[in-house]
Amino acid sequence: MKIDSIKNGLVLDHITAGRSMDIYNFLKLGDLDCSVAIIKNAPSKKMGKKDIIKIDADMDLHLDVLGYIDPNITVNVIRDGNCVEKKHLELPEKLNGVIRCKNPRCITSTEQELPNIFHLTDRHEGIYRCVYCDAMAKK
């Protein structure tokens, strides 16, 4: 199998095996007018197996959301065929408008214009809490 290198764009590496389609759909990569390669179950010394997404175009990524979806991801920025920047993601401290509070008594259930804001309270367990009602949301 041959996957060409990209000239300018992004490589999302170290995606947990099987999660690349979730990220593909979330980022709406199917709407892009450029080459997008998804490599599933690639061998990895660090992870055993991993997925990789190559995007042959520059685009803005919401890194907090990507970090929430899969904190193992490494984002490589490619310019003129070379990696010029490498970003290691982690669970974000704050999520704004990414997940919804499931507590029916939370003010965000009745006041639809309020943003759903969660703060990370336990990084090891991936637990977030609503800033309004303290309801728990687990990653």
Q: What region does 2 belong to: left with phi over 0, alpha with psi -120 to 50, or beta?
A: beta
pLDDT band at 1 (very low <50, low <70, confident <90, very high): low
* pLDDT computed for residue 117 by the predictor: 97
Instruction: Please name the residues in contact with 38: beta carbons below 8 A apart, sequence gap of 6 or more.
Output: 20, 21, 24, 51, 52, 53
* pLDDT computed for residue 58 by the predictor: 87
Identify whether residues 24 and 38 lie together within a single domain.
yes
- Does the structure show a pLDDT above 70 at 13? yes
Does residue 1 form part of some domain?
no
Identify whether residues 71 and 105 lie together within a single domain.
no
Does residue 47 form part of some domain?
yes
- Does the structure show a pLDDT above 90 at 37? yes
SS3 (DSSP) at 67: helix
Identify whether residues 63 and 80 lie together within a single domain.
yes
Domain boundary among 63, 88, 113: 88
- Name the DSSP class of 134: -
- Does the structure show a pLDDT above 90 at 53? yes
pTM tops 0.85, yes or no? no
